[in-house]
Each structure stands twice: as C-alpha cells, then as structure tokens.
C-alpha cells in the first residue's frame, strides 16, 4: 500500500516539474515561438506584438530629438511635457523602453568617444564629417 502511494507521489512530482518547465519556457518565447534574446530582440517582440512595427521606435526617436532640442534651447531639463511624453512611451512599450533608450544613450556616448579619439565608425559614413546629435540619433535609431 505504501509503495503504491510512494510511486504515485513520484509520478505526480515528475509531471508537475515537467509542466512547470513548459510554462517557464513559454514565458521566454515570443509570439512566433522564438526565444527572446537581448534588449533589441525584446523591443522587436514588443513592436511586433503591438502590431505597429515602427510606432514605438518612432516615439522614442522623437523623444530623443525633443530632448536634444530642449538642451540646445536652454529649456528646463525635466519639464512636465518631457516627463509626460516619457510616461506615455513607458505606458505603451513597458519598462523595456527605458532599457532600450539607455542602450541608445550608451551607443551615443561610445560614438562621441570614438569621434573625439578619431576612431572611424559605421555611423561616420551615414552622417559625414560634421555630425550633429540629431543626425546621429537619426542614424542610430531606426524607426
């Protein structure tokens, strides 16, 4: 009698573990069944799931260009308008948008350092010798 209960418990635990692994694996897959890797892949999955392939990327690009324009115009750094615009992007794209924007900022910092040190990059061919922040954002952010 005890052997039967023991075997039944082992079978139950095995099946439960197997179904838990399937659920966890399903959480890391996008709508096409492909595993999500990296922030760009997550952003791509978000955009594809939303049905608007360039909408979120375009909003982020417009936000970055607006921040650059505000900086050139000596406007307030954390204005209510920019904070509301950022909140709309976060509401639409989720927290991944913040990570993606941080990745763009890191790319821009690396590009600036490369330009200062005279190291050629693939962006140089797109924006030319006299690169502006707007031209670099337009070259780096596709959308």
pLDDT in tens, 99-128: 777 777 787 788 778 878 888 888 777 777
* DSSP 3-state of 42: helix
CA distances to 75, 77, 93, 98, 120 from 69, rounded to whole Å, are 9, 11, 23, 20, 26
What is the structure's pLDDT at 25? 62
Q: For position 30, what pLDDT does the model report?
A: 57
Domain count, the chain: 2
Q: Which of 50, 65, 24 is nearest to 42 (CA)?
A: 50
60 and 30 part of one domain? no
Write the CA distances from 112 to 49, 53, 119, integer angstroms. Answer: 34, 29, 10
26 and 46 housed in the same domain: no
Report yes or no on whether pTM surpasses 0.75: no
Give the domain range for residue 45: 39-140
Claim to verify: residue 80 and residue 121 sit in the same structural domain: yes
pLDDT of 32 strictly over 70: no
Q: pLDDT tens digits for 41-69?
A: 666 666 566 555 467 778 888 888 888 88
112 & 63 share domain: yes
pLDDT at 34: 61
């Amino acid at each position: 009698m005890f052997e039967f209960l023991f075997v039944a418990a082992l079978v139950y635990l095995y099946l439960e573990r197997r179904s838990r692994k399937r659920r966890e694996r399903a959480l890391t897959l996008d709508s096409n069944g492909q595993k999500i890797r990296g922030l760009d892949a997550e952003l791509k999955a978000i955009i594809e799931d939303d049905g608007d392939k360039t909408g979120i990327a375009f909003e982020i690009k417009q936000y970055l260009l607006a921040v650059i324009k505000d900086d050139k115009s000596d406007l307030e750094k954390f204005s209510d308008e920019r904070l509301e615009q950022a909140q709309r992007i976060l509401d639409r794209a989720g927290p991944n948008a913040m990570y993606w924007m941080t990745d763009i900022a890191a790319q821009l910092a690396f590009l600036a350092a490369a330009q200062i040190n005279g190291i050629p990059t693939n962006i140089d061919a797109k924006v030319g010798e006299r690169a502006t922040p707007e031209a670099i954002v337009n070259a780096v952010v596709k959308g």
